[in-house]
Amino acid sequence: MQPSVWQILIVAALVLILFGRGRISEMMGDVGKGIKSFKKGITEEDAAAKPSPQLDAKSADTSSESSKTADKTAT
């Protein structure tokens, strides 16, 4: 059973009477701010969860040199 057009208009009129035009626009603005802040929080959390690993060139060279010396001593 779907609501008819008249039922929807009556409910809309009651909402306007109870809350008024200004209050409804305030609530929709608050909902929009909440959604925006939620999306911002999600993107910040994703960015914090995926730090980009940076490799230092000097540490990479010394680790390869130490593995070479370990191979020489093993043979």
Considering the entire predicted model, what is its pTM? 0.43
Q: Are 6 and 13 in contact (CB under 8 A)?
A: no
| C-alpha distance from residue 57 to each of 7, 33, 61, 62 (Å) | 71, 45, 6, 9
Per-residue pLDDT of the chain (75 residues; tens, 9 = 90+): 888 999 999 999 998 888 887 888 888 899 999 999 999 998 887 777 776 666 555 555 555 555 555 555 555
